[in-house]
Amino acid sequence: MTKPKLFIARKLRDVVEARAARDYAVILNPEDRLFSPAELIAMCREVDAVLPCHSERFSADVIAALGPRLKIIANHSVGTDHVDLAAAKAAGIVVTNTPDVLSDATAEIAMLCMLRAARRGAEGDAMIRAGKWDFWSPAFMVGRQVTGKRFGVLGMGRVGQVTAERARGFGMEVHYHNRRRLPDHLEKGAVFHDTLEGLLAVSDVLSLHCPSTPQNAGIINARTLALLPERAVLVNTARGGLVDEAALVGALTTGRLFAAGLDVFQTEPGGNTALAALPNVFLLPHIGSATEETRDAMGFRALDNLDAFFAGREPGDRVA
């Protein structure tokens, strides 16, 4: 039987590409270069399936130009904001993602962002690397203790729930705002707030875990930042589009916000130079799911979805 033709848009872990080559007629991207929309369209017109990351954007215009052969977009990501799901559905293209397998890795990065921000780790590291550590005193580099503080989760999906669990490990009280209240066995004693404002008022640390949607764009802005407790800490491992970065720079500059730990930005790759110029920001280049185990698991999960689809079964992680 002819193997389905699969375009793997970015360089994936070797074990993942080896499994893909066993079961599909694969087109790989060994140079791991980013394809332009025109190149992405040209590649996808010649295959039955594409396995992209969040770096490949499938807008309505791109989807309209894909042609009739492409049947499934099997994302190597849990976020799907890079795909116009309504356009994919209208075009009869199945879309899947890779939930669950990256929750632990991303929660680890959220804790790293929280601690490096709250305890001024980025500032201290930079000071020593610059050869400027020439003084110590009891008042030196005092930060914000997280133990016993309130950890606010905006978006209590899989990643939010695992991150909340890690925060409990630091002796933090978990609060959350979500479209729907969780059942007890998932809520695990966390305090539900049915409004964003209610959550913000009690978040000594606010961690963003909601999807990037048109409704959530810039949800963290000058107005909402002002509703946080004085000298709160912001953590973002979700999507850069959730944050008005100019407003964040303002709040960090005045000290209204004590610090921020960010793994995602409006402009990726690259980040934000104004944020990078501030001492009270810890910055990472979107590595939330970047562990060996997780990237293997994500690749296998995407291939499991493709295998199900081409075997005539419903993919387990279908989102459109």
What positions carry a catalytic annotation? 239, 268, 286
Question: Binding mask 42-71 vs ligand 8YV (x if CB under 6 A, - otherwise)?
Answer: -----------xx-----------------
* Residue 83 per-residue DSSP state: B
- By CB under 6 A, which span of 77-85, 127-135, 193-201, 220-228 interacts with ligand 8YV? 77-85
Whether the CB-CB separation of 151 and 205 falls below 8 Å is answered with yes
- Side-chain-side CA neighbours of 302 within 13 Å: the count stands at 32
Note if the bond before 269 is cis, omega within 30 degrees.
Answer: yes
Question: Which one, of 220, 162, 156, 159, lies nearest residue 191 by Cα?
Answer: 156
| Residue 289 near ligand 8YV by CB under 6 A | yes
Handedness of CA 30, 320, 162, 20 (dihedral sign): negative
Q: How far is the CB of 292 from ligand 8YV (least distance, A)?
A: 13
Query: Can you list the alpha helix ranges (DSSP code H) found in the chain?
Result: 14-23, 37-44, 60-64, 85-90, 103-118, 121-129, 158-169, 184-187, 196-201, 222-225, 245-254, 273-276, 292-310
| Residue 160 near ligand 8YV by CB under 6 A | no
Nearer to ligand 8YV, 55 or 221 (CB): 55
10 Å CB burial of residue 132 (0-12, 13-18, 19+) is exposed
Of the residues 16, 73, 77, 193, which one makes contact with ligand 8YV according to CB under 6 A: 77
CA atoms of 183 and 198, how far apart (whole Å): 19
Q: How far is the CB of 206 from ligand 8YV (least distance, A)?
A: 19
DSSP secondary structure letters along 252-270: HHHTSEEEEEES--SSTTT
- By CB under 6 A, which span of 65-73, 74-82, 118-126, 149-157 interacts with ligand 8YV? 74-82
Of the residues 4, 35, 76, 220, which one makes contact with ligand 8YV according to CB under 6 A: 76
Residue with tokens 């997780």: 294
* Residue 139 per-residue DSSP state: T
Nearer to ligand 8YV, 43 or 252 (CB): 43
Nearest-CB residue for ligand 8YV: 79
Nearer to ligand 8YV, 54 or 116 (CB): 54
With a CB cutoff of 8 Å and minimum separation 6, the contacts of 313 are none
- By CB under 6 A, which span of 141-149, 194-202, 249-257, 285-293 interacts with ligand 8YV? 285-293
Nearer to ligand 8YV, 251 or 283 (CB): 283
- By CB under 6 A, which span of 14-22, 73-81, 141-149, 245-253 interacts with ligand 8YV? 73-81
Nearer to ligand 8YV, 79 or 157 (CB): 79
Of the residues 16, 63, 74, 78, which one makes contact with ligand 8YV according to CB under 6 A: 78
Collapse the DSSP code of 289 into the 3-class scheme (helix H, G, I; strand E, B; otherwise coil) and give the result: coil
| Residue 207 near ligand 8YV by CB under 6 A | no
Whether the CB-CB separation of 58 and 73 falls below 8 Å is answered with yes
Question: Binding mask 90-129 vs ligand 8YV (x if CB under 6 A, - otherwise)?
Answer: ------------x---------------------------
| Residue 209 near ligand 8YV by CB under 6 A | no
Whether the CB-CB separation of 179 and 193 falls below 8 Å is answered with no
What are the backbone angles phi and psi of residue 197, rounded to the nearest 5°?
-60, -40
| Residue 163 near ligand 8YV by CB under 6 A | no
Size of the site for ligand 8YV (CB under 6 A): 10
Interface contacts to ligand 8YV, rule CB under 6 A: 53-54, 76-79, 102, 286, 288-289
